Amino acid sequence: MRGHAHLIGNYHPGSSIVHRTPLWLKGILLALVAVACFGFPTVGATTAVLAVVVGLHFAAGLPARRIWRAVRMMAPFLVLIAAFQWWQNGPGTAWTVVAAIIATVIASNILTSTTTVAALLDGLSAAVRPLARFGADPERFGLTVQLMLRSIPFVIGAFDDVRDAARARGLERNIRARTLPVVIGTVAYARATGDALAARGLGDPED
Amino acid sequence: MSLIELEAAGASVELADGGHRTILSSTTLALSEQRIAVIGANGSGKSTLLRLLNGLLLPDSGSVRINGLDTRTHGSAVRRSVGFVFTDPLSQLVMPTPVEDIELSLRRLKLPAAQRRAAALAALEGFGLAKVAENSIYELSGGERQLVALAAVLAVDPDVLVLDEPSTLLDLRNTRLLRSTLAALPQQLVISTHDLDFALDCDRALVVDNAAVVFDGAPEDAVAHYRAMAA
């Protein structure tokens, strides 16, 4: 499987102010971006938030292609959403909705691109530590979220691989040939990941 | 050196019709040599035998013990002392970059974050992989991936290293690199392989066929036995 596509970016090493910002503050800023975009859905507010987020992206020293890569993957959905909103509510709403989605995805991208996986795991574990008294396992929670993020590019890559294989066999219009192998491959991937974690003792109770 | 003991250990899988298929018939072994090869055809039961050693698979009957620790009752302790390297490193590497994957292994040691990072980088440095520490695992060559998988397992210093066909996906150059790397390790190694040169490097070899160990002895004799079976 390819597993190369990334809607949510991998860590990009750097020493920018964004990299040095504590994870909790980045989390709050990400939440504020979402609240600003979807809580105050005006053209002016959403455009301003998008501009700030793009500015932060470059302030973090992240390449422009990371924005393009994330937007390109969403492009078919964005076009459909924009067309529908334009038709129903006019161009202003279409822009507001699309810009809000792009702004939140770029903000998420900035968080994951400027934070190491280890720091994310530590942060997530710390965030749910108060729930440990109710039986929650903070380490396992953090690892589960990280594995979920890691699985997204794999599943996207699986769709690409299966599409190519179906094309090679002249089955590009066969829904079954284009979906069933993805399901089987994804289940096999989940099992292999489970085995890999178990072999390293990472799911053991005392961990 | 560690002592691996299988006492009448057998394993089976449940079939869709409710029946059972034996994937390893009752096996009794005591393995104390430093390098042990497991050879046999595809589907013969090699991987089943290996997975029993790390507790990834528990025996339906009998027992498996590593230095006296039963895999059924002391699974966590067994996994701490037995590292497992899979055939496909992409199945094993669960983090986006080599350094993060090794850090994941080290989380079990409860080290402070900075110390964990330094230890992960040192582990990669030891394998000459420092330059790819921050690369995506998808950008690495097959040989680099297999070495990262090995480094991630060795980072927690296991007593025993179990490798399930580690060279199957490697080209000749990377196979040689892996062989020389493994030859320098102090750990006890149990390696399943189709590469008979690999088997000949070992101190003892088992031939597995049709879910049973059918030969156990010197590697030269085991390879001859396997060749005769395949003829």
Residue-wise pLDDT for A179-204, tens only, equals 899 999 889 888 888 888 888 887 67
Using a CB–CB cutoff of 8 Å, tell me whether A187 touches chain B.
no
Domain boundary residue, one of A115, A145, A166: A115
Identify from A200, A202, A204 which residue to disrupt to test chain B contact, counting B C-beta atoms within 10 A and taking the largest count: A200
- pLDDT of A6 reads 52
Average pLDDT over residues A136-141: 80
Using a CB–CB cutoff of 8 Å, tell me whether A122 touches chain B.
yes
Q: Is residue A37 part of a domain?
A: yes
Q: Do residue A110 and residue A24 come from a single domain?
A: yes
Collect all residues of chain A within an 8 Å Cβ-Cβ radius of residue B109.
none
Does the pLDDT of residue B103 top 60, yes or no? Answer: yes
Q: Is residue A205 part of a domain?
A: no
CB interface of A with B, residues 128-147, below 8 Å: 139, 143, 146-147
- pLDDT of B73 reads 93
Q: Do residue A20 and residue A111 come from a single domain?
A: yes
- pLDDT of B96 reads 81
The reply to whether residue B100 touches residue A204, judged by beta carbons under 8 angstroms, is no
Q: Is residue A193 part of a domain?
A: yes
Does the pLDDT of residue B23 top 80, yes or no? Answer: yes
% of residues, chain A, pLDDT over 90:
40
- pLDDT of A9 reads 56
Does the pLDDT of residue B127 top 90, yes or no? Answer: no
Q: Do residue A108 and residue A139 come from a single domain?
A: no
Average pLDDT over residues A116-131: 83
- pLDDT of B148 reads 93
Confidence of residue A125 (pLDDT cuts 50, 70, 90): confident
Q: Do residue A108 and residue A163 come from a single domain?
A: no
Residues ≥6 apart with Cβ < 8 Å to B222:
B37, B39, B199, B205, B206, B207, B215, B216
Does the pLDDT of residue A7 top 80, yes or no? Answer: no
Q: Is residue A206 part of a domain?
A: no
CB interface of B with A, residues 61-120, below 8 Å: 75-76, 79-80, 83-84, 86, 88, 90-97, 100, 103-105, 107-108, 113, 116-117
Q: Do residue A107 and residue A138 come from a single domain?
A: no
Report d(CA B78, CA B59) in Å as an integer: 14
Confidence of residue A39 (pLDDT cuts 50, 70, 90): confident
Q: Do residue A103 and residue A143 come from a single domain?
A: no
Does the pLDDT of residue B26 top 70, yes or no? Answer: yes
Which residue of A13, A116, A204 is in closest CB contact with B75? A204
% of residues, chain B, pLDDT over 90:
66
Does the pLDDT of residue A96 top 50, yes or no? Answer: yes
ipTM: 0.80
Confidence of residue A158 (pLDDT cuts 50, 70, 90): confident
- pLDDT of A71 reads 86
Does the pLDDT of residue A5 top 50, yes or no? Answer: no
- A149 CA: distance to closest CA in chain B (Å): 10
- pLDDT of A132 reads 81
- What is the phi/psi pair of residue B41, to 5°? -70, 165
Q: Do residue A160 and residue A97 come from a single domain?
A: no
- pLDDT of A8 reads 53
- What is the phi/psi pair of residue A200, to 5°? -95, 5
DSSP string, B24-47: EEEEEEEE-SSEEEEEE-TTSSHH
How confident is the prediction for chain B on average, in pLDDT? 91
Q: Do residue A108 and residue A141 come from a single domain?
A: no
Residues ≥6 apart with Cβ < 8 Å to B86:
A192, A195, A196, A199, B92, B149, B164
Q: Do residue A148 and residue A58 come from a single domain?
A: no
Select from B167, B183, B170, B196 the least CA-distant residue to B85. B167
Helices A91-113 + A23-39 axis angle, to 10: 170
Q: Do residue A28 and residue A106 come from a single domain?
A: yes
The reply to whether residue A195 touches residue B80, judged by beta carbons under 8 angstroms, is no
Residue A87's domain comprises 10-115
Does the pLDDT of residue A165 top 50, yes or no? Answer: yes
How confident is the prediction for chain A on average, in pLDDT? 86
Nearest CA in chain B to A196: B92
Q: Is residue A57 part of a domain?
A: yes
Place of tokens 């989605």: A101
> What is the layout of strands, in order, in the sheet containing B82-85?
B82-85, B160-164, B188-192, B35-40, B204-209, B212-217
Domain tally, chain A? 2
Tell me the CA distances in angstroms from A171 to A24, A159, A184, one per residue in order: 48, 14, 18
Q: Is residue A5 part of a domain?
A: no
The reply to whether residue A117 touches residue B97, judged by beta carbons under 8 angstroms, is yes
Domain boundary residue, one of A115, A138, A172: A115
Average pLDDT over residues B134-161: 90
**Run of H or E residues at B214:** strand B212-217
Report d(CA A164, CA A206) in Å as an integer: 44
Q: Is residue A166 part of a domain?
A: yes
What pLDDT, in 10s, does the model give residues B44-57? Answer: 999 999 999 999 99
Does the pLDDT of residue B123 top 60, yes or no? Answer: yes
Q: Do residue A80 and residue A164 come from a single domain?
A: no
Does the pLDDT of residue A102 top 70, yes or no? Answer: yes
The reply to whether residue A195 touches residue B54, judged by beta carbons under 8 angstroms, is no
Nearest CA in chain A to B150: A200
Q: Is residue A204 part of a domain?
A: no
Size of interface A-B (CB pairs under 8 A): 86
Confidence of residue B1 (pLDDT cuts 50, 70, 90): confident
- pLDDT of A169 reads 87
Q: Do residue A184 and residue A87 come from a single domain?
A: no
Residue A69 or A107, more confident: A107
Domain boundary residue, one of A69, A87, A115: A115
